[in-house]
Structure 1
Amino acid sequence: MHDDHWEGRRVLVTGAEGFIGSALVDALVDRGARVRALCHYKPYGEAGNLAPYLDDPRVEVLAGDVRDPFLVDQAVAGTDTVFHLAALIGIPYSYVAPESYVQTNVVGSHNVVAACRRHGARMVHTSTSETYGSALRVPMDESHPAQPQSPYSASKIAADAMVLSYHAAFGTPVAVCRPFNTYGPRQSARAVIPAVLEQLAAGSDVIRLGSTTPTRDFTYVTDTVEGFLAIGASDAAIGRTCNLGTGSEVSIGALAEMLVAVSGRRARVVVDDARLRPEASEVDRLLSDNSLVRSLTGWAPQVTLEDGLARTWAWLRDRPASRRYQV
Structure 2
Amino acid sequence: MVIVTGGLGFIGNELVRQLKSSGEEVVILDNKNRIAPHIQDIQNVSLAEIDITDHAMVTAFFREVKPSAVFHMAAIHYIPECNDNPERTLRVNAEGTQSILRAAAAAGVNKVVFASSGAVYADSAGLLSESTPIAPVDIYGWSKLFGEQLCQLNHSLNGTTTVIARLFNNYGPRETNPHIIPEILRQLQSTSQLQLGNISTVRDYIHTRDCAQALIRLWKSCNSGVSTVNVATGKGFTVHEIINMIGKIAGRTIDVKFDNTRVRRFDKQTQVASIDTLKQLTGWTPQVNIEEGLTDLLRFEKLI
Aligned residue for 2:73?
Answer: 85
Aligned residue for 1:184?
Answer: 172
Ranges in structure 2 where 5+ consecutive residues have no aligned partner:
none
Letter in 2 for 1:302: Q
Preserved CA contact (<8 Å) 2:31 2:51: yes
Displacement of 1:270 after TM fit?
2.1
In the superposition, the TM-score normalised over structure 2's length comes to 0.94
- CA distance 1:276–1:188, shift in 2 (3 Å): same
Percent identical: 28
Displacement of 1:53 after TM fit?
3.5
* 2:274 counterpart of 1:283: no
Displacement of 1:128 after TM fit?
0.7
Aligned residue for 1:76?
Answer: 62
1:289-321 CA-to-partner distances (Å, cap 9, x unmatched) read 0101110111210111111110111111179xx
Displacement of 1:198 after TM fit?
1.6
SS at match of 1:40: coil
- CA distance 1:295–1:236, shift in 2 (3 Å): farther
Aligned residue for 1:25?
Answer: 16
Distance 2:108 2:253 in 1: 55
Distance 1:124 1:46 in 2: 21
- CA distance 1:47–1:287, shift in 2 (3 Å): closer
- CA distance 1:308–1:120, shift in 2 (3 Å): same
SS at match of 1:127: strand
SS at match of 1:160: helix
Preserved CA contact (<8 Å) 2:2 2:69: yes
Preserved CA contact (<8 Å) 1:237 1:296: no
1:235 to 222, 231, 244: 222
- CA distance 1:311–1:245, shift in 2 (3 Å): same
Preserved CA contact (<8 Å) 1:223 1:302: yes
* 2:238 counterpart of 1:247: no
Distance 2:37 2:202 in 1: 31
Preserved CA contact (<8 Å) 1:187 1:194: yes
Preserved CA contact (<8 Å) 1:231 1:237: no
Ranges in structure 1 where 5+ consecutive residues have no aligned partner:
1-9, 320-327
- CA distance 1:189–1:167, shift in 2 (3 Å): closer
Distance 1:287 1:237 in 2: 27
Letter in 2 for 1:11: V
Aligned residue for 1:293?
Answer: 278
- CA distance 1:153–1:46, shift in 2 (3 Å): closer
In the superposition, the TM-score normalised over structure 1's length comes to 0.87
Preserved CA contact (<8 Å) 1:73 1:115: yes
Distance 1:232 1:313 in 2: 31
Distance 2:35 2:129 in 1: 39
Distance 1:46 1:124 in 2: 21
Letter in 2 for 1:306: E
Displacement of 1:188 after TM fit?
2.8
- CA distance 1:49–1:156, shift in 2 (3 Å): farther
Distance 1:283 1:238 in 2: 31
Say how many residue pairs are matched: 301
* 2:41 counterpart of 1:52: yes
